[in-house]
Structure 1
Amino acid sequence: MTKSDALGNAKQGDVLAVPESFMVLVSRTCDLVRRPALAVADAVHLPDDPEAEIGRKPHLAPVPAFRDGDWYADLSTLRHAQRDEVCALVEHLEPGLETGTHASAFRRHVGRYTSKPSWDDYIETTVEPLTTLAKKRHNKNSEEGALYRALSDIRLELETPDDPGPRDHHSPRGLEIHYIVRPEHAAGLDPDAPATLMPADVAWLINQPSLSDIAKRWAEERDELRRVVWLEAYCAELTRRCVDRKVFPVTEVTHNVVAEDQFTFQQVKRSAPIEVEHLSYPEAPEPLVGVRLQDSEAPERPPMGPADPSGFANPR
């Protein structure tokens, strides 16, 4: 393998051996083939740190398949570098995430860490149907509870203003809701070939069925493409309820249903997850291109609130 293709088969969470240290690839796998720049973080070895092991240090994202399993990506060192510069440093590549469960947990951990506090009241009012659902359905043994858990995350993104000038939080803006689908439920979710509704489906949905009725159809459906129809209908109905509650300066609420492995790191940076106890406000995205590895510094973060004992080791 030449230096130029040292990352040819790389995936998110892989560990790069570089002179005298290790780095973890934080960029999403889909971004590794699309972008000329990568997000990386230092790898740290903490064999005797029970707080890191149970997730009480949110800047440490586990890479459990690397070496003895006691390694973490230190997200406080997160930085962006040109792909060619990283390739020039890499001595070899080792997997850090072995299973789909590892990969999903790592993606959600990074997404939660890069989000910032806190949403304004008008956002909380608009998305109250989502937070209410999270409280009611997260652990419910029902069709709707199962459909809700088919989503690995629900993230919010405020529109980015076209002009680069100052803009306060109460300027009119749109809100996009990203419904992120777990891999095992995303087989029929194809952005290039969206599922189509049959006339009978359209007639049924026009009557605005309840979320539980939509979830029942999803649970009874055995065809993967048809299941996607009901998953998307469920998300559309949730969004409609947010539209009904929107308050100024939210002028529009739209949504996006996307497979977990197709939601890019740039989208993670621009958005923030729904939280049951508190909501988070996203930081303005940092440019990925043009940051030299040796000049990069860990981004400053505002003070975090009290540690959540259930925290990042076991994300929703």
Structure 2
Amino acid sequence: MITVMTSYGIYHQLGANKEIQALAAQHQELKSRSIEELAQMVTDKKITVNQLLHELRLRQEANPEDSGAWMKLGELLTLSAAGSTSPQEPQAETDSMRQLAKQAFNRASQVGNQEQQINTRIEVAKTYLTYREFDSALEQLSLVLLKNNTHEGALMMKGLTESRLEKHQAAIDTWKFLASRRQQDSESAQLINNLIENELERLEFTQSQFIEITINNFANLDLQSFTKAFAIVRPVAGGAPIAVKSIDISELEETIKVTPENLMFSTADFWQAIDLKVEIRFSQTGLAKPETGDIFGQLSPIQGLTPTQNYSLTIDQVVN
């Protein structure tokens, strides 16, 4: 079997281009480096993510069954991506690190028998949870449950992850299924039932945390030239909106529900803000910034928002 490096040699003899020669030279320089050192070199910008990827592909040919090494690489890259908080850090590079981490974790999860693969994915999910990558953790747990839908560790973690994502009903359903597999008078069943009870309280609370904005003249509006509607809550004094909800015109209804999930900043307080104005604007281009020809309506200034309150307004103004 012709190895990758042998292939490089053949290409070189045939007049390989400079890129192939550069990759071969790079491998000679990096082959003695540990995975930890390579990940640190990416963090220190001594090599690029693409250069790291090329090096790892070469190593995969040489030692494809080293699950621990792939796990370590995934952890280091996830850590690096989580630490990339500087405004100067290119988002594309951070995304590349996350994607490369996912590839490394997937490679680790393909080694061994089914039980070993499941255990590896559980460890991957734990790593993602450590770095608050909840969606990625949920994806790994779902893959575990595809192979074993009664895996109790995965079910417990899935419920906890769904709870962190505020998918309260999903968490309740997951834990109810898990509880059904336990003896009802057992300590573990009681623990799960307590989790369900707490999640039901959170769900009930969340379901009451909204305001509604009704468009009085909705039936009379000609919206054919508009693509999006924006429900906006902003301070009367000006500045950035507190909350914005974007709705495609095709999905628009007469009443729009706005919740704390639509907050522009996680530190803002939806219910404590005062001196506000509420408006709905229809955009022709779909941009959040008002443009000439957009139509809108707004309420008179209000002191503050009240949970479950319905506010009514009329679309009767045009942006000039």
TM over 0.5: no
Which of 1 and 2 has higher RCO (CA within 8 Å, sep 6+)?
1
The two structures have a TM-score, normalised by structure 2, of 0.23
The two structures have a TM-score, normalised by structure 1, of 0.24
